[in-house]
Amino acid sequence: MANGEKRSEWVLCRGCGEMVYGRRFAREAKVCPGCGFHAPMGARERIAHLLDDGSVRELDFRVPDADPLEFVDTEPYPERLRRARARTGLDEAVVCARGRIEGHPVIVAVMDFRFFGGSLGAAVGEAITLAAETALRERTPLVMVTASGGARMQEGVISLMQMAKTSQALAQLDEAGILTVTVVTDPTFGGVAASFATLGDVIIAEPGARLGFAGPRVIEQTIREKLPEGFQTAEFLLDHGIVDAIRPRGELRTTLARLLAVATRSARAERPEAEEGPAPVGDPAELPDLDPWTAVRAARRLGRPTTLDYIGMLVHGFVELHGDRRGADCAALVGGLGYLDDIPVVAIGTQKGRTAAELAKRNFGMPTPAGYRKAARLMRLAAKLGLPVVTFIDTAGAYPGLEAERDGQAVAIAENLRLMASLPVPTVAVVTGEGGSGGALALAVANRVLMCANAVYSVISPEGCAAILWQDPQAAPRAAEALRVDARHLLELGVIDGVVPEPPGGADTDHAGAAAAMRRALTATLRELMPMDAMNLVLDRHARFRRFGSASPDTVKPVVKERKPA
C-alpha cells in the first residue's frame, strides 16, 4: 500500500465495520480476515498480486487524449481527466501487462475503478483491444480483470462503440483458439459487463462481486420494486449460470494457472502413482454372460463411483466450470478442464450423488436443458482450444419435468447430438452406470463409446418398457432381457466399442480398482484418436453412427488417415 506505515496501521473493513491491522490486511491482499470482505484493489496492485514476481512488463497502450464531443458538464472533460490522473497516478482506467502466472505466459488487462469508475472510454476500449490483438499475435492467453460502472458518458456514443470493438477483438481470439479468462471484481456493470467481461471463455468472480447490465438503482426505479438481497452478486450469478466459478482472491492465481496449463498444454506431465488397470475388452466372447436384469440392478447401486469420483481420481488440476450462461446451472451435469495423465481434456458427465440430500440436490442425475447447454458450452470450448472431450454417463434420463419441457429439453438434447457430431476434436464417451435414453445419448455421440462391465444402456428403462408393452411393471426383468441393455449384448450390436472391466465385486466395492481400469481405457482410446485430424475425426464419428440400420453398413466406413508428423 502506498500509505505510510504509520497512517495505515489500522484499516476499517467496509464489510464488517471492524478495524483490521494494516499489515495483515495488506498481506491478505486486502481481504478482511474477519468477514472475508474483498476490498477494492488498484490495477497495479492487482497485477503484482496475480503475476509471478519479476515477470511483469507493462504494455504501453496509451492513445492521445480525445474529447470527441468536447464535453462539458460542471467542468470540461479534459479537466476531469487531468484531476483523475493526478489523484490516481494512472493514465487511464486500465493497465495492461505481459507476464507469467506460475510460469505460464499471459497477457493481462486490469481495470481500475478509481479512475472514472472504470468507465469504458475510447482509451480503455483501445487498450483492451490492443491487449487482445497482442494475445492473438503471440498466441498467448488473455486474462481480463474487470471493474467498471459502464460506459463513459463524457465520450458519448464513441464509448458505446468500444463494446463492439472489444467484442470483435475477442471473437478473433475465439477463432484463433486462444483462451480468454475474465476475473470479475466488484462492481462490473453496463457496457463492460455486456461486452468483453462476459465473453471470456471462463468467467471467475471474486466473492460478493456484482455484475450486471443495468445497475440495481435503475432496475428498482423501472420495476418499482425492492431487489432481493444478494441480487447480481457472484453467488447469485453462479446459481444462475452466468459465472463459471467463485474464487477468493487468495486462490485466483492457482485457478488461473490451472486453466493456463490446460489451454497451453504446458503442465508438467503427472503420471499418477497408480497401478495399471486391466485393458478394456473389445470381444463380446471374452465377457461373462451377465443376466441383463442383474446388470440393471448393479448399474443402479449408489456406491458406484460418480462422475466427480472418477474425475477426482483421474483428472488432476481439474477446474470445474458452471452454468449455461443463459440463466441456470444444472447440478446434475458437471464438467471442466484438467489433465488425464499427460493429456489435457474437457471432462463432462452426469452427476448422481449418494446421500438423499445430494441426490435431491443433483436431481438424481437427471439433467435439465441448462445441463445439456452447459455441456454444449464446454464442448465448444474444447473445440476452440483443440482439447479432447471425455464424457461420463450415469443417468436414468433427461429430467422429465414441467420446467424442463418449457425450457426446451428436446431442443437441448437435439442440439447436443448435432454439436457432438461435428466436434473437431477426439471424443470418448463412457457409460459408467445407467445410460438412459436420449438423455444419455446427448453426451454419447463420440468417436468411441465405452461402457463399464456392469453398466446398462437402453432406449427406455426396463420398468417403462414393461409397463407399456407387457402392461405389467413386474415384467421388468423380462424387458431388460428383451432390450439387451447389458454390455455384452451392446458390444455385439456395435453400439459400444469396448467394455471397461470392473473389480470382482463391482465398481462400488473398489473405487481405486475401477478408476485404474477407467484410466487405462480412456488414455488408450484417446491416444488412438489423437493422431487423427479434425476432418477424419468427424468422418469417423459420422460413419460410426451412420451404419446403424443401414442396409450396407460396411460401405459407410471412411478411409481414416493418420496425420503426417509436422
Q: Note the residues at the interface with Zn ion (CB under 5 A).
A: 13, 15-16, 32, 34-35, 37
Give the shortest CB-209-to-Zn ion separation in angstroms.
Answer: 16
- Report the distance separating Cα 167 and Cα 249, nearest Å: 26
The secondary structure of residue 466, as a DSSP letter, is I
Q: How far is the CB of 17 from Zn ion (least distance, A)?
A: 7
Judged by CB, which is closer to Zn ion: 15, or 558? Answer: 15
**Own/partner long-range contacts of 546-553 (Cβ < 8 Å, ≥24 apart):** 547/494, 548/494, 548/495
Residue whose C-alpha is closest to residue 536's, from 512, 564, 515: 564
* Nearest approach, Cβ of residue 19 and Zn ion (Å): 9
**Which residue has 451412420 as its cell numbers?**
546
Measured between alpha carbons, how far is residue 487 from residues 206, 221, 280, 458 in Å? 45, 60, 12, 11
Angstrom distance (rounded) from CA 37 to CA 207? 8
Identify the three-state secondary structure at position 415: helix
Phi-psi region of 29 (alpha: psi -120 to 50; beta: other; left: phi over 0): left
Give the shortest CB-35-to-Zn ion separation in angstroms.
Answer: 3
**Closest CB to Zn ion among 38 and 247?**
38
- 208 vs 558 by CB, closer to Zn ion: 208
**What is the C-alpha separation between 49 and 471, in angstroms, rounded?**
66
Give the whole-angstrom CA distance, residue 488 versus residue 480.
Answer: 13
Residue nearer to Zn ion on the CB measure, 13 or 147: 13
* Nearest to Zn ion of 35, 410 (CB atom): 35
Do the beta carbons of residue 111 and residue 68 sit within 8 Å? no
The CB-of-323 to Zn ion minimum distance in angstroms stands at 28
Q: Give the whole-angstrom CA distance, residue 182 versus residue 147.
A: 11
Q: CB-wise, 230 or 401, nearer to Zn ion?
A: 230
Least CB distance to Zn ion at residue 10 (A): 13
Q: What angle do CA 508, 513, 514 make, to 5 degrees?
A: 55
Strands 57-59 and 94-101: antiparallel
Report d(CA 265, CA 28) in Å as an integer.
31
Least distance (Å) from Zn ion to the CB of residue 31?
Answer: 9
User: Residue 95 or 234: which CB sits closer to Zn ion?
Assistant: 234
Q: Return the number of other C-beta atoms located less than 10 Å from residue 495's C-beta.
A: 18
Cis peptide, bond prior to residue 187, ω within 30 of zero: yes
- Could you please report the per-residue DSSP string of 340-397? ETTEEEEEEEE---SSHHHHHHTGGG---HHHHHHHHHHHHHHHHHT--EEEEEEES-
Residue 282 φ then ψ, to 5°: -110, -5
**C-beta of 36 vs 386, nearer to Zn ion:** 36
Closest approach of Cβ 366 to Zn ion, in Å?
41
State the Cα–Cα distance between residues 209 and 103, nearest whole angstrom. Answer: 27
Q: Which is nearer to Zn ion, 34 or 400 (CB)?
A: 34
Looking at the Cβ atoms of 11 and 260, the one nearer to Zn ion is: 11
Least distance from Zn ion to the Cβ atom of residue 277, Å? 49
Toward Zn ion, which CB reaches closer, 234 or 260? 234
Largest CA distance in the chain: 86
Q: Find where cell 468422418 sits.
A: 539
CB of 38 to Zn ion, least distance (A): 10
**Shortest approach of Zn ion to residue 3 CB, angstroms?**
18
Q: Which is nearer to Zn ion, 17 or 156 (CB)?
A: 17
Q: Report the amino acid identity of residue 162.
A: Q
Shortest Cβ distance from residue 28 to Zn ion (Å)? 11
Rounded-to-integer distance, Cα 276 and Cα 516, Å: 6
- Which of 37, 196 has the CB closer to Zn ion? 37
Q: How far is the CB of 206 from Zn ion (least distance, A)?
A: 14
Nearest in space to 430 (alpha carbons), one of 460, 397, 455, 461 = 455
Nine-digit cell at 46?
A: 492487482
Q: What is the DSSP letter of 280?
A: P
